[in-house]
Copies of this chain bind each other. A is one copy, B any other.
Amino acid sequence: MGFARNQIFYNLQKGSPMSKQHTIGSYLIDKLSSHGVGHIFGVPGDYVLGLYKQLEDSKLKVINTCDEQGAGFAADAYARVNGLGAVCVTYCVGGLKVANTTAQAFAEKSPVVVISGAPGTNERTKTPLLHHRVRDFDTQLKVFEQLTVASTVLDDPRTACSEIDRVFAAALRYKRPVYIELPRDMVSAPADPPQKSNDTVRSSDPVALDEALREAVGIISAAKKPVILAGVEMHRFGLQDALLKLLDKTKIPVASTILSKSVVVENHPQYLGVYEGAMGREEVREYIESSDCLILLGVFMSDVNLGIFTAHLDQGKSISVTSEKVSIQHHSYDGVEMDDFIAGLIAADMGKRKVPDIPNPPLPEPANPTTGKPMTVRYLFQRLNSFLDDNTIVIADPGDAMFAAIDMNIHCATEFLSPAYYTSLGFAVPASIGAQLANPQLRPLVLVGDGAFQMTGMEVASIARFGLTPIIIVLNNQGYGTERPMLDGAFNDIPSLNYARIPELLSAGKGYDIHTEDQLECALQEAQKHTDSFCIFDVHLDPADRSMALERLTTVLGKRVK
């Protein structure tokens, strides 16, 4: 016995990974690290304290947020920027608080590993009423089975490592959240890693792929006005470089959706802008809808994302490729993988084209502030547009913050984040924590309505704690501006807060109270210099003021509400 223990100790000292004696906790932590996860978000609780201690002693950095909801949104944003994210919470009182953020990650394909502590297996045997329990010990598991692509309870050291491998593989395959429940007496249980990885590489059926490609290439070659609509899966599945190659090879113009905005750099010569049916720029709508060959790559056909079904896309003229399905016109192919199909298009000979004459997005107009002139949504976004630089990531909360941001000119790829499909308010402030930790080169510009800010704005305390530096623009119109034009009532009003004074609460950051164009100008210039902590702008807007995009959206939505 003495010898064996010393042998393990010797191997640990030498750092040999082959012979490292793993616990379930250490295997899980190593797995996260090996997939590039450097930060884990959460709030500790007694059922998960042992794992928190292991995390603190590991390479991973624990990021405590104020509330679990904030941790969930931060992990989602981290996953979008980094490729994988993780949130670690306690049983039920922590886990059920991230039900909504996990649902968003599921809906918008963001691979978040949800890790929850739980009562020990040895505590469950007599099913006593342990605290935090709801109905049965598996209540939380059953909830998360609805919200994730794979889930597991690590209650057996013999299978724990292979179970971890299985759910990680699902997160990476489907780019969706997974759920891992770790009973507290299992954290330090010795565990044996599987001898070989069960990560399977998916590949296409070569015959089906060939047939699909031949048909697609024929249609595209014959088309007079082909156009690509690039969806968010191009980003999630790491296909942005492939997309650029395809654009370069074919010279076909490209548009994005709201959810995928910034999937290609927005000054790309073939870039049309964001397509969102009747909600977006008319010339983009006209170009897309008059195309004789629409190539949809990884597009979510959802309502808000496509202008609340004001989009008119002719399936008979479409080639649609997603991680789940490849369709041409009204038929579909089995066994054809998205990446193989796009690689095939790049390799194919589709003749020579020139970049056609297309309506590129207008460049940012210079905004000249007039002293004392009240702030408007239009001026605000015009000015912010020219404020963006290569290191700005725009994070927009649903509502006019998101709609008005659609026409901003994002400089680099993947520098726009917004939950444009699931549209859960309160995402942007905590998301800035995840985004900036995932890429410290970026300074987040957070666009958030006052209603959304009041949901998760307390996380500014976490921003201050971890020395992050977002510029937070609160669009203060004293209510739920998106709902007013649909159906108004006192329920759309919210109380006004002195947002610019939040730095006094935290003894950190800079606050700016902004009523006029010149005040915005001063604040932006100061914020540009003040790079060592966050800035918050309280931008006072007329409650009736809104962007044109929101005006169009709410008119359509309002017809359905009543």
**Chain A contact residues, CB within 8 Å of chain B:** 44-46, 49-50, 52-53, 55-56, 62, 64, 66-69, 92-93, 96-97, 99-100, 103-104, 106-107, 120, 123, 128-135, 139, 142-143, 146-147, 184, 188, 300-305, 309, 421-426, 454-458, 461-462, 464-465, 480, 482-483, 486-487, 489-499, 501-502, 504-507, 557, 560-562
Number of copies: 2
**Contact of A139 with B501 at beta-carbon distance under 8 Å, contacts A44-B492, A67-B455 already known:** no
Q: Which residues of B contact A184 (CB under 8 A)?
A: 560-561
Closest to A184 in B: B561
Instruction: Enumerate 24 A-B pairs (CB-CB under 8 Å) in ascending A order.
Output: A44-B492, A45-B483, A46-B482, A49-B486, A53-B487, A53-B489, A56-B490, A93-B100, A93-B425, A96-B99, A96-B103, A97-B99, A107-B134, A120-B560, A128-B301, A129-B301, A129-B305, A132-B423, A134-B422, A142-B146, A454-B461, A462-B495, A498-B505, A502-B505
Say whether A303 contacts B143, CB under 8 Å: no
Which listed residue, B67, B96, B491, touches A456 by the CB 8 Å rule? B67
Separation of A45 and B425 alpha carbons in the complex (Å): 10
Nearest B residue (CB) for A105: B134
Q: How far is the CB of A226 from chain B (nearest CB, A)?
A: 25
CB-CB < 8 A to A491: which residues of B? Answer: 44, 52, 55-56, 62, 64
Interfacial chain B residues near A135, Cβ < 8 Å: 106, 146-147
**A476 → chain B, closest Cβ, in Å?**
13
Residue in B309, B426, B487 whose CB lies within 8 Å of A67: B426
Per a CB cutoff under 8 Å, which of B421, B499, B502 touches A131? B421
A423: B residues at CB distance < 8 A:
93, 131-132
B562→A50 contact, CB < 8 A: yes
- A29: min CB distance to chain B, Å: 14
Q: Which residues of B contact A128 (CB under 8 A)?
A: 301-303, 309
Residues of B within 8 A of A300 (CB): 129
The one of B53, B147, B495, B561 that contacts A139, using a Cβ cutoff of 8 Å: B147
Whether the pair A304, B131 counts as a contact (CB closer than 8 A) is yes
Given A50-B562, A465-B495: A129 touches B421 (CB 8 Å cut-off):
yes
Q: Would you call B49 and A424 a contact (CB within 8 A)? A: no
Known: A93-B422, A103-B134, A146-B139. A302 touches B486 (CB 8 A): no
Q: Which residues of B contact A129 (CB under 8 A)?
A: 300-303, 305, 421
Decide if B461 touches A495 in the complex (CB within 8 Å): yes
Question: Which B-chain residue is minimally distant from A145 (CB atoms)?
Answer: B142
Q: Is the CB–CB distance between B480 and A44 below 8 Å?
A: yes
In the docked arrangement, what's the CA distance between A301 and B133, Å? 13
Closest to A304 in B: B131
* Closest B residue to A306 using CB positions: B129
Residues on B with C-beta less than 8 A from A104 are 93
Assess whether A92 is in contact with B103, with CB atoms less than 8 Å apart.
yes
Min distance, Cβ A470 to any Cβ of chain B, angstroms: 16
Query: Do residues B489 and A52 form an inter-chain contact, with CB atoms below 8 A?
Result: yes
Interface centre among A493, A496, A505 (most CB of B within 10 A): A505
List 3 tightest A-B contacts by C-beta distance, closest first. Answer: A129-B302, A96-B100, A66-B454
Contacts of A421 in B (CB 8 A): 129, 131
Nearest opposing residue in chain B for A120, CB measure: B560
B426, B457, B483: which contacts A46 (Cβ < 8 A)? B483
| CB-based contact A483/B44 at 8 Å | yes
Q: How far is the CB of A402 from chain B (nearest CB, A)?
A: 12
Contact indicator A103/B139 (Cβ below 8 Å): yes
A287 and B304 CA atoms in complex are apart in Å by 65
Complexed CA–CA distance, A142 and B145 (Å): 10
Docked Cα-Cα span, A66 to B495, in Å, equals 9
Q: Are A100 and B99 in contact (CB under 8 A)?
A: yes
Docked-complex contact B69 and A69, CB < 8 angstroms = yes
Given A44-B480, A505-B502, also A131-B302 (CB < 8 A):
yes
CB distance from A489 to the nearest CB of B (A): 5
